[in-house]
Structures are given as C-alpha cells and as structure tokens.
Amino acid sequence: MTQSLQIAVVIPCFNAKRYIGATLDSILAQQGVVVEAIVVDDGSTDGSADFVEQHYPGVSLLRKANGGVATARNSGVMAAQSEWIAFCDADDIWLPDKLAAQLQAMGAAPACRMSYTAWHVWPSEQPLPEPGLLRRLHEDQADSRWQGPSGMIYPELLLDCEVWTSTVVAHRTVFDEVGLFDTGLRIGEDYDLWLRMSRVTEIRRVSRPLALYRQHPANITRSAPTANYRRLVIERALERWGFSGPDGRHVDRRALAQSLAKCCSDFAAAQMAAGAGQLARQSIYDALRYDWRHLPAWKLLARSLFVRTP
C-alpha cells in the first residue's frame, strides 16, 4: 500500500450543520492519503446539505429522502470510486494520521481487508475540540485501555460490538462478498455488518485513539426501541455460523450466555422505564433463560411485579 492511495470516506448526515464543517476539515486533513469525501444528506431540514455545497465544493454531495443511516451509508458505498471505503459520522472528529495508520497496519497483514482504531468518547456541543485534547490523545498511545481484539475476531464480536463505525476502513471486495448495511435493522445495522465481515477477513485494530466519538444531546437516543436489535443480531449470527470463527477459535459459551443475559436485562430495564411492562417481563424471562444466576434480571423481576401492564 502506498501513501498516495485514495480512500472514499462516506459521511451520512442528518441535521448536522453545526458540526459537519469540523468533521469534514478533520477528514480532508488526513495525511499521506487522497480522500474522496462523500456526504450523504439523509433528508436534513437544517440546511446541512446547502452548507456543504457552499463551503466544500470539492466534496461529493448526495441528497436523498430521509431513510435512516443504513440507507445513507449504503448510498455512499455505491457511489464511491475508491477501492478502500471508510466511514465517519457527521459530528465526529479524526486525528490527522488516522487513515495512514490503518493502511500501515493492514499493509503488515496482506490478507487483511478491514481495520478499525481505538477512540475517545468526547462529550461536547462545541464544533471543534480543544487543541490540548488532541495533543494528549496523540501522545497517549501506549495506554493499555486502547487495546482491543485484532485478527479473526468473530468470537470477540459475539460478546460485544468492539468496532465503532466512525473508525472503520474496509476494502470494496469485502462489501462485494458480504453485502451492505441491513436496512431492516433500526439499530445494530453496523454490528451486523462487522460480524459478516469477520467471517471473510482479518480485522486489524490500531490501538491508538485516532477518532473522537462526540456525544451531545441530539445524538443520544431517548426512546426505547420495541425490539432487542442487539440480541437479534447476535442470535442471527449464531444461527448462521455457530460459536466458532473461521480460524477455529470458539467463543466462551459461559461468557456469551452472560452477555446475552445482560443484553436482555438492559432491554427489559429500558422497557420498564418506558412503561412497557409486558415487554419488560418477557425480556427478563429471556435473560434468566440465558443465565439463571444473572442478578440484575432477578432484581428487575421483583420490580416488574409492581409495574402495571399497559
């Protein structure tokens, strides 16, 4: 891989006018690569698309009716001209050497066609990060907290979605093999895709915090979903591929049962808070079927006795 390699960066955008300028600046400032930036405006009503068109004429802009982030990312992948495709949400920030570090990591493993990096959770409504934060992250490379799974990571992914979308780079051939984001999943469409990709390629992690995951009030989900999408994604993977990765390594079944129990009890807690007692109780029972020793599920069950079913 040469440093002049071109990478398409797909940026789904919905009402992100306040932040997308800073995001695009961080993408276009990537060192040692040629960036093909593609903003897919998913029916914004705040003038995001007009802002990009006016201030970033070199960026490809696709406008579409609102259909969700999976449809926006799929549109960007299909429009991309580059062999390598990366993703960045319209309010996140990259450090300048992110893409170059990933290309270097994949270049050391010729069979690898996907990589991701560590990231820093950044609660902020300010468009730009403080220079001091970026400097500290650049210097903070050896901390063990940035470590994570690398290689044929299907077993690790069954336990948790270790990959964050705004750090992913993948070769086009991987999409050709496993498909695009599943638009039928309202939540977890990225998790589902990484599991599929983990069946056909190594996934190398760059254990450095090379991206900022912005958290602000507008991007925090407030309503409880009516389906447990995380559980659905994991169970679908298990039905299709079982407990073993392509390299023969197995997931720890006890750890997986505990993880699924927690997934169900978390979903039950959200439903209980939303007043959906019947959904909550069913998910509590599911949690206990996975792991009868899961204490949070027993506590929720006791609480649920006092929640009136709608």
How many CA atoms lie less than 13 Å away from 65 in the CB half-sphere?
0
pLDDT at 148 over 80: yes
pLDDT tens digits, one per residue of 44-93: 999 999 999 999 999 999 999 999 999 999 999 999 999 999 999 999 99
Q: What is the mean pLDDT of residues 112-134?
A: 92
pLDDT at 295 over 50: yes
Neighbours of 225 (CB within 10 A): 15
Alpha-helical (H) ranges within the chain are 17-28, 48-55, 69-79, 98-107, 131-139, 154-159, 172-178, 189-197, 229-241, 253-273, 277-290, 295-304
pLDDT at 38 over 90: yes
Is the sign of the CA dihedral 56, 60, 100, 19 positive or negative?
positive
Whether 96 and 19 have beta carbons less than 8 Å apart is answered as no
pLDDT at 280 over 50: yes
Tokens encoding 267: 């979903």
Q: For the chain, which domains are there?
A: 6-219 (3.90.550.10), 229-304 (no CATH)
pLDDT tens digits, one per residue of 160-215: 999 999 999 999 999 999 999 999 998 999 999 999 999 999 999 999 999 999 99
pLDDT at 309 over 70: no
> If you average pLDDT over every residue of the chain, what do you get?
93
**pLDDT (0 to 100) of residue 245:** 97
Contacts of range 125-134, beta carbons closer than 8 Å, 24 or more positions apart? 125/18, 125/216, 125/217, 127/18, 127/19, 127/21, 127/22, 128/22, 129/93, 129/212, 133/212, 134/95
* Alpha carbon of residue 225 to chain centroid: 18
In the structure, what pLDDT confidence band is assigned to residue 220 with cuts at 50, 70 and 90? Answer: low
In angstroms, the Cα distances linking 163 to 52, 56, 60, 70 are: 28, 29, 26, 16
Tokens encoding 257: 């049962």
Distance, CA of 37 to CA of 179 (rounded, Å):
21
**pLDDT (0 to 100) of residue 218:** 72
132 class by beta-carbon count within 10 Å (0-12 exposed, 13-18 middle, 19+ buried): exposed
